[in-house]
Amino acid sequence: MRQIFEQLTVAVGELASSVSPSVVSVGPAGSGFVFAEGLVATNAHNLRGDLLVSFSDGRTETAGVAGVDAEGDLAVLSVRTGDAPALRWADSPAQLGQAVVGMSRPPGTGLRAGLGTVTGLDVAFRGPAGRLVRGALEHSVPLAHGSSGGPLLDGGGNLVGLNTHRVGDGFYLALPAGTELKARLEALARGEVPRRARLGVALAPSHVARRLRRAVGLPDRDGALVQAVEQGGPAARAGLRRGDLIVSAAPGTGPSRSVRSVEDLSNALDEAADSQPLGVVLGILRGTEELSVAVDFTEGGATEEATA
């Protein structure tokens, strides 16, 4: 057993040493890694204060934002990376129970490395802007404050995830490294902003909606309750009001589907972002009256409202 621990200690130490030049600190409270020459990947929530990037050789460079996806909690910084190499990407996705090494460089503290295992797959979390982010990895690597944006690595030092945040006082979540994440980073590096359908409303979950409807004598119904409408947003232009209960959604010219939760609506909006025309038809309950509302996500697009 002692020999196994000694071998493990040597292996993690060698991995940390070899990857160290590619792991950086970002801003006042985050980490990141070299994604390509002149580019650093990190979390969008780390973009605050002075965007200073510090490297293993003691250099500190001022970075610019090449691209940011606030709702997906992802960002690419443009910065002089010098001789720091880009991390290699793993050939296959991380598996449940796989041993992984999390690394970070929290500002002012130096390199950190920890060992753990992948404890969960396809985990969902809310991004900084409130949108549901799906497909995250959960792992047990003990990471210090300031580790978000750092890399999650396999035993060969290959990237299997980008660490995002700790769930309460428990495990950490990471965006899985794969073709989708790589494509997103490359698009951000080109300055391309992801196209997402955004209603411009504040929503209450289904159980809150049922309680509030019951309180005013309305029948129970699952759905996403509109609690506030952003002035001038797509929902406001379409005529949605506070108190409307969204019970169905049909992206573009696609089929209508039931909305029983905020997550169901989020799924429909993700589909609507790729639809032609760029819009969604919502089925709503206004009190006991059923309405159909067409929402156009193009700026200044026409809308219509009709009784079903």
The H or E element spanning position 267 is helix 262-272
Q: Write out the CATH class of domain 2-189.
A: mainly beta
The Cα–Cα gap between 34 and 41 comes to 6
Q: Under the phi-then-psi rule, with left for phi > 0, alpha for psi from -120 to 50, and beta for the rest, what region is 227?
A: alpha
Number of Cβ within 10 Å of residue 232's Cβ equals 10
- DSSP at 293: E
pLDDT at position 302: 36
| Residue given tokens 């035993």 in the structure block | 155
Number of Cβ within 10 Å of residue 289's Cβ equals 9
204 in helix, strand or coil? strand
The Cα–Cα gap between 308 and 304 comes to 12
The Cα–Cα gap between 278 and 18 comes to 47
Indicate the domain borders of the chain: 2-189, 201-307
The H or E element spanning position 78 is strand 74-78
What CATH number labels 201-307? Answer: 2.30.42.10
CA dihedral 251→44→143→59, nearest 10 degrees, is 150
pLDDT at position 308: 31
Could you tell me the CA-to-CA distances from 138 to 32, 35, 97 in Å, in that order? 18, 22, 10
Block mean pLDDT (10 aa), the chain, length 308: 76 89 94 96 91 94 93 93 95 94 92 93 76 85 93 94 86 93 94 80 83 82 88 90 90 80 80 72 89 79 35
pLDDT at position 307: 30
Residue 102 near residue 147, CB atoms below 8 Å: yes
- Which residues have C-beta within 8 Å of that of residue 5, sequence separation ≥ 6? none
The Cα–Cα gap between 245 and 274 comes to 24
Residue 96, classified by CB atoms within 10 Å of its CB into exposed (0-12), middle (13-18) or buried (19+), is exposed
**Tokens linked to 102:** 């999390």
pLDDT at position 303: 36
Residue 182 near residue 89, CB atoms below 8 Å: yes
pLDDT tens digits for range 100-159: 999 999 998 889 999 999 999 988 877 766 667 778 999 999 998 999 999 999 999 999
pLDDT at position 177: 95
